[in-house]
A and B are shown apart, each in its own frame.
Chain A
């Protein structure tokens, strides 16, 4: 049998027979993404004020990022799959961030946290800040704020979860 999409899966007689006998049919991608979206491993990258809110989001009992399954902050880019680009991307930092991102294994996502990472923010006028992280990295979710509140960071991560699951 050839299954092209989800509608096929529901209508196919063989699949129905299997499901009646307790066998669950799905795509590998779907079940992998289901797992990925519920357990991002963010990279411990910090540049300015936003990472303090990230630390609070991860460390404060009030916010508790662990309830979403995103609490495994990794210091090594090879173990992480989510780069939270927090803080301004300065000219000196840009090659470092780019290299860190290249070291991360696929699949990987980038979340721009705060106005500095989105557009340069208040430091856009300066000579040493890039006008946004998207000039060097592909960014999936933009979370505005200066700095971003922990709740807003969670919202951004849940949007990314929806994106990974194909709902956005």
Chain B
């Protein structure tokens, strides 16, 4: 008897399995209502809002400088990237130009943040699929970056040392040897990941061909970042719409046309190498000088004007839309274009028709941060 006939003769009801909101594999507080037909996913309803902390509303009652620490708590895995997007948006609004040295320090810290975020993504992907050992390798290497963050900002995870016009203080002396050592050791670390994760047959079988996202769908849903590049579309804001001083550095944008979870994993590993290249160039050409531009003590928007600034965050296009009111030191309205939120939209589509186990693979490789998705 064929399989089709069998299902025809034994009709089964759809049933719902709730994943979350308290669940280790949801990467934060998300609730996934999964409608199942046997083991096959018919539909996934993503319910968000469990980490909604009203950040956008709080922004309206904080001055431009006071809001910087809140941005770090949006995407808490990539410490310096959201503050970078926010400070650059405010600089655009207020016509402030950061100093040369500050620009370099920002790039160095932003790329270290990207590496730390990708390492945790790879590690938690392995952890979600049951490879605890592989996760420990990634977390071990990420600790080196945490040490550097602590040297610079005194805070391991969410250092808010970026300011409008520059950075709050200079890099300490012991930062440079630590950064150089990390860059030197990164290829060896990646070899280890390839040995432990990439070469693992179980992991390959659980990633290859799972959660295929076509280029057209990715573009239609507005997916950005490594997920879009893994679907074969060549787009990186660092190269295509350079912000800060990214146009001075040579780096490649890794592309994979696979579109599946395997491609999303490989693109992230490849991005580690490219981030390290950028950091190396920035360290080599780090100029001397002031670390912060001369800014008025109270930053006030000069006129009624709205700005949008986007950067290539570790998750995708992170944008800050600020409506400034003339003579006010607070934003009239602030909106965050959160890549995690927009990337999560494709989850029901890429899960449809897959096995239940692939839900975990898909959410881990889409790499959403719920703090950013819910804001």
Contacts and interface: CB of A to CB of B under 8 A. Distances in A.
A61 interface: yes
Contact of A128 (B54, B77, B132, B140): B54
A88 to B, nearest CB: 6
A48 B76 contact: yes
A129 B24 contact: no
Interface in A47-76: 47-49, 51-53, 55-56, 59-62, 73, 75
B14 interface: no
Contacts of B29: 46-47, 87, 93, 96
B61 to A, nearest CB: 6
A92 B49 contact: yes
A90 B370 CA distance: 13
A55 B51 CA distance: 18
Contact of A47 (B50, B61, B132): B50
Interface string A24-54: 0000000000000000000111111101110
Given A48-B51, A90-B53, A123-B53, A59 B135 contact: yes
A126 B55 contact: yes
B305 to A, nearest CB: 26
A88 B53 contact: yes
Contact of B73 (A48, A56, A90): A48
Interface in A87-129: 87-88, 90, 92-93, 96-97, 100, 122-123, 125-129
A62 B58 contact: no
A51 B76 CA distance: 10
A131 B50 CA distance: 16
Given A90-B52, A90-B53, A128-B53, A52 B157 contact: yes
Interface residues of B, number: 37
A113 to B, nearest CB: 13
Contact of B157 (A49, A62, A93): A49
A125 B143 contact: no
A129 B374 CA distance: 13
Contacts of A51: 28
A90 B140 contact: no
Interface string B129-144: 0001001100110110
B136 A48 contact: no
Contacts of A60: 136, 139-140, 142-143
Interface of A: 43-49, 51-53, 55-56, 59-62, 73, 75, 77, 87-88, 90, 92-93, 96-97, 100, 122-123, 125-129, 146-147, 149
11 contacts: A47-B29, A48-B51, A52-B157, A53-B156, A60-B142, A61-B136, A87-B29, A90-B50, A93-B51, A126-B58, A147-B157
Given A48-B371, A123-B53, A125-B58, 16 more contacts: A44-B23, A47-B29, A52-B157, A56-B139, A56-B146, A61-B139, A90-B50, A92-B49, A92-B52, A96-B22, A100-B22, A123-B54, A126-B53, A127-B54, A129-B53, A149-B156
Interface of B: 21-24, 28-29, 49-55, 57-58, 61, 69-70, 73, 76-77, 120, 123-124, 127, 132, 135-136, 139-140, 142-143, 146, 156-158, 371
